Structure 1
Amino acid sequence: MLETDESGLSVPYRLYPGKTGSRSPPLVLYLAGTGFQPAPDMSRRSDAAQCFADAGAVVVEADYASLSGNLFPKALEYAFRAFMAISARRKAFAGAKSRFVVAGHESGGNLAASVALKARDYRPGELAGQVLLSPMVDASMATSSFLGADAGMQNRWADGWSRYLGPACSYQHPYATPCLCSRMAGVAPALVVTSEDDPLRDETLGYIDRLTAADVAVRRKVFAAEQDWTSLYRGETGLWRQELCEELSQFLAGLQG
């Protein structure tokens, strides 16, 4: 159940307490994938978010979409508002010294990457890491892996991008399409995940290359096709789950406070 309370977070959220005995466990702002659709389904708990909790983090899944209509720049404004509120109230959610991470899947991965860029520009030093799970970062939709997707997925993402960017044509804005950002240096260390059969594979790997070229510390994970990573788009669990939990645990443990 998404809720708001005395924590001061100004957007609805779902809390995943985390399996940890630490006084300052990692704290994750999680942004779910919605394909930038107008009426996202936020009624179900995210298995990817639960993986962070299983890896020892406290997870706050913020509903950026319902209040913003999944339009740029409102969606990013709500996501960044959640980032600032959670960062200011770390002790209310986890611990005063908790390492703070932003994470997201698909369209939520776009916003997580954008929050990391904006945090670098406006709140340097507050973000310890970013986790991007098959992020939608390239609005051109022209990569080989994207063009190999089935027509239903292509249409869903094309419609989503069109809605998100809107008639003002925000295509070139680096916070809207992070792959076009000309300055990547200084963003938080990243864990970036995709799979061999992922339609968003090529843009995800391209974003890894951009981060690496800017000397950003990047940990990459490419699941084999048989691990069914793309089940995440359907809100389902695949054979990837345990391995993702292990990757997240190692990434979070390696972050500096």
Structure 2
Amino acid sequence: MTLHPEVARVLATLPAPPSGPLDPAALRAGEEAQVPPVAERLPLHAVEDTTADGVPVRVYTPVAADTYGLLVYLHGGAFFLGSLETHDHVARSLAQATGLKVIAAGYRRAPESAFPAGLQDCYGVVRWAVAHGAELDWDGGTLALAGDSSGANFVAAVTAMAHDEGFDRVTAQVLYYPSLDLDFDVDRYPSLRENAEGYGLETAGLAPFNAFYLDSGADPADPLVSPIKRADLTGLPPALVVTAEHDPLRDEGELYAARLAEAGVDVQVSRYPGAGHGFVQHFSWLPDFARVFTETAEFLAAHEATGEPAR
């Protein structure tokens, strides 16, 4: 299938990327300038900003209830872009669709914060959610993780860290077009060549955009940096892996899903035809792509965990 016509139309209006070194401050400012005012965002029962042991978090409560399952959401942005604001609409949509209380993490980003600062923040937010379950009205059951692109990288890494430390509270993981292999050899996966140009995220841009993270001390050979390099995937929580047809990262996401399945993990893989990288953030308003939130809700409902309310 060709690229969705509306996506193609929008991409055709975008200016060429600036020449020379990337400027994180300028790129972040450009993203933040696109964020709609609060009055125009999807309304929920409550949205509250707080901190989780020093990490900024935004807590989204979909409806009034006595207790909730929890979903920790980790935004994407090549480890140096993205924020609680730029991905606020994704977190709101997840809360509305799933009925879970969503906790979005405003983790530290490269290049200002060296590896593994951001990853530690994300894992810390997950641990904080359990420790503060009573304050969050957690039902003691579902504690899912979801993330897009580099945020999905963190989801995979955090679930591995939790497993290795015997922290068995994570019940499911949702990976939207995950960035799982930071070795950008173009011959590594067919999709790196097949979708190299013309679909938004371009293969030639992967190395420079991820350089801020890698130059901060993140080693692509480290399974916490490239989760697909983890040798043993047994014991990890059930996973929904969403990929995009026209994404250079498509094949690494699908290979990771296959390896999870081979390790005995319950995995659901969903490739979105006509989609490019970033469609959950940028194009989920299109009916063809909006179903990603329904699909996520159905997956999490099928893997709902029960427990005693936190006290």
With normalisation by structure 2, the TM-score equals: 0.72
Matched residue, 1:249: 297
Q: How large is the RMSD of aligned CA atoms in angstroms?
A: 2.6
Rg larger in structure: 2
Aligned equivalents of 2:122 and 2:115: distance in 1?
Answer: 11
With over 3 angstroms needed to count, the CA separation of the structure-2 counterparts of 1:30 and 1:68, relative to structure 1, is farther
Cα deviation code 1:65-102 (max 9, x no counterpart) = 34884642111111111111112112222424241011
Of 42, 52, 55 in structure 2, the residue corresponding to residue 11 of structure 1 is 55
Matched residue, 2:12: none
Aligned equivalents of 2:217 and 2:277: distance in 1?
Answer: 34
Match of 1:135, as an amino acid? Answer: P
2:264 is paired with a residue whose SS is: coil
With over 3 angstroms needed to count, the CA separation of the structure-2 counterparts of 1:48 and 1:199, relative to structure 1, is farther
With over 3 angstroms needed to count, the CA separation of the structure-2 counterparts of 1:19 and 1:207, relative to structure 1, is farther
Aligned equivalents of 2:57 and 2:170: distance in 1?
Answer: 19
> Do 1:130 and 1:191's aligned partners in 2 also have CA atoms closer than 8 Å?
yes
1:146 is paired with a residue whose SS is: helix
Matched residue, 1:200: 249
Aligned equivalents of 1:254 and 1:76: distance in 2?
Answer: 28
With over 3 angstroms needed to count, the CA separation of the structure-2 counterparts of 1:50 and 1:250, relative to structure 1, is same
Deviates more, 1:11-20 or 1:161-170: 161-170
With over 3 angstroms needed to count, the CA separation of the structure-2 counterparts of 1:121 and 1:105, relative to structure 1, is same
Matched residue, 1:144: 190
Aligned equivalents of 1:159 and 1:68: distance in 2?
Answer: 12
Matched residue, 2:286: 238
1:83 is paired with a residue whose SS is: helix
Cα deviation code 1:101-146 (max 9, x no counterpart) = 1110000000011001001111432111111001100112332222
Aligned equivalents of 2:246 and 2:299: distance in 1?
Answer: 23
Task: Give me the identity figure in percent.
Answer: 26
Matches within 5 A, 1:102-251: 102-141=145-184, 142=186, 143-147=189-193, 148-150=195-197, 153-166=202-215, 168=217, 170-225=219-274, 230-232=278-280, 234=282, 237-251=285-299
When you count strand as a share of all residues, which structure comes out higher? 2
With over 3 angstroms needed to count, the CA separation of the structure-2 counterparts of 1:9 and 1:169, relative to structure 1, is closer
Aligned equivalents of 2:209 and 2:88: distance in 1?
Answer: 20
1:34 is paired with a residue whose SS is: coil
When you count helix as a share of all residues, which structure comes out higher? 1
Matches within 5 A, 1:46-65: 46-54=88-96, 55-65=98-108
Match of 1:31, as an amino acid? Answer: L
Q: Displacement, 1:2?
A: 8.0
Match of 1:231, as an amino acid? Answer: F
Match of 2:248, as an amino acid? Answer: P
2:120 is the counterpart of 1:77 = yes
1:99 is paired with a residue whose SS is: strand
Aligned equivalents of 2:113 and 2:150: distance in 1?
Answer: 10
With over 3 angstroms needed to count, the CA separation of the structure-2 counterparts of 1:183 and 1:67, relative to structure 1, is same
Which 4+ residue blocks in structure 1 deviate beyond 6 angstroms?
A: none
> Do 1:109 and 1:135's aligned partners in 2 also have CA atoms closer than 8 Å?
yes
Q: Displacement, 1:228?
A: 6.2
Aligned equivalents of 1:99 and 1:221: distance in 2?
Answer: 22
Matches within 5 A, 1:90-101: 90-101=133-144
Aligned equivalents of 2:137 and 2:110: distance in 1?
Answer: 25
Q: Displacement, 1:175?
A: 0.8
With over 3 angstroms needed to count, the CA separation of the structure-2 counterparts of 1:100 and 1:69, relative to structure 1, is farther
1:93 is paired with a residue whose SS is: coil
Q: Which runs of no fewer than 5 residues in structure 1 stay unpaired?
A: none
Deviates more, 1:199-208 or 1:70-79: 70-79
